[in-house]
């Protein structure tokens, strides 16, 4: 037998017990369409966290009903992700699927109960997150309490507004990523219109005190800068959850 061709792997299963808060947007109206959060950007990290043995809750700013974006809904005949088996499994799970109708409101969240927060993107966050001062405060509270703070795709828009207790932006002095302008242009071409009134990359680059980076359009890319973890888009969701698990295992 040629040992040079033998590859052995033995992953670590004895991870420390942790509790994670997955946060998604409540539904919103965008150009006459109801939009929500990008399915995979919550369900893939959720799946990875459950497999790591973590306890996971799902919250939204207002609590109650949340929805997948139609584009990301694997059960939408016109959607682009029919093979997203994790999201299909989530909504049809006897327990987890019910959470889509009854998420926890952020007013009921005790930061001390959790080790990390993971925020999904999608069509609604640019609308619902921008002026939600209580949500900005929650993110700041997680970060300043020493918790791992993970933001994915349009969820990273929170770094445009979240201020710490000293009045500085959480993004100041940080290296991070988010949905790229090149990807926004792909969406605009798909719908034949300018979909969003502003973009994360354009706004982030107005801040001279932060370092915003992106990979090529739709390429998996994520960054960990201390307790802050950011991921560029849905194809980066698995990288985000890996970084969270690594950070919580340090």
Q: Is the pLDDT of residue 2 over 90?
A: no
21 located within any domain: yes
115 located within any domain: yes
Phi-psi category of residue 32: left, alpha or beta, with phi > 0 → left and psi -120 to 50 → alpha: left
State residue 14's pLDDT score: 78
Element of type H or E holding 55: strand 55-60
CATH number (domain holding residue 128): 3.40.50.880
145 located within any domain: yes
Into how many domains does the chain fold? 1
Task: Find the largest Cα–Cα distance for the chain.
Answer: 64
11 located within any domain: no
Encode pLDDT of 153-188 as tens digits. 999 999 999 999 999 999 999 999 999 999 999 999
Domain range spanning residue 23?
17-249
State residue 81's pLDDT score: 94
170 located within any domain: yes
Encode pLDDT of 49-105 as tens digits. 999 999 999 999 999 999 999 999 999 999 999 999 999 999 999 999 999 999 999
136 located within any domain: yes
Mean pLDDT, all residues of the chain: 96
- Rg over CA atoms, the chain: 18
94 located within any domain: yes
State residue 7's pLDDT score: 87
Work out the pLDDT band at 20, boundaries 50, 70, 90.
very high
Q: Is the pLDDT of residue 1 over 60?
A: no
**Angle CA 134–135–137, to nearest 5:** 65
State residue 15's pLDDT score: 87
192 located within any domain: yes
């Amino acid at each position: 037998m040629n040992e040079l061709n033998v590859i052995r792997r033995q992953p670590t299963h004895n991870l420390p017990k942790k509790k994670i808060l997955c946060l998604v947007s409540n539904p919103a109206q965008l150009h006459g369409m109801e939009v929500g959060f990008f399915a995979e950007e919550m369900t893939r990290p959720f799946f990875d966290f459950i497999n790591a043995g973590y306890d996971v809750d799902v919250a939204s700013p207002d609590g109650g009903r949340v929805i997948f974006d139609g584009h990301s809904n694997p059960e939408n005949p016109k959607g682009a992700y029919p093979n997203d088996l994790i999201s299909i499994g989530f909504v049809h799970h006897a327990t987890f699927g019910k959470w889509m109708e009854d998420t926890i409101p952020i007013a009921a969240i005790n930061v001390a109960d959790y080790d990390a927060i993971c925020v999904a993107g999608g069509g609604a966050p640019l609308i619902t997150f921008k002026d939600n001062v209580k949500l900005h405060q929650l993110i700041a509270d997680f970060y300043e309490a020493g918790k791992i703070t993970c933001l994915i795709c349009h969820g990273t828009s929170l770094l445009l507004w979240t201020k710490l207790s000293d009045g500085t932006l959480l993004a100041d002095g940080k290296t991070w990523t988010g949905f790229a302008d090149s990807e926004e242009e792909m969406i605009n071409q798909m719908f034949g219109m300018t979909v969003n009134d502003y973009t994360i990359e354009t706004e982030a680059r107005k801040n001279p005190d932060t370092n915003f980076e992106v990979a090529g359009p739709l390429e998996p890319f994520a960054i960990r800068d201390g307790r802050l973890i950011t991921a560029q888009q849905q194809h980066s969701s698995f990288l985000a959850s890996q970084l969270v698990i690594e950070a919580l295992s340090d």
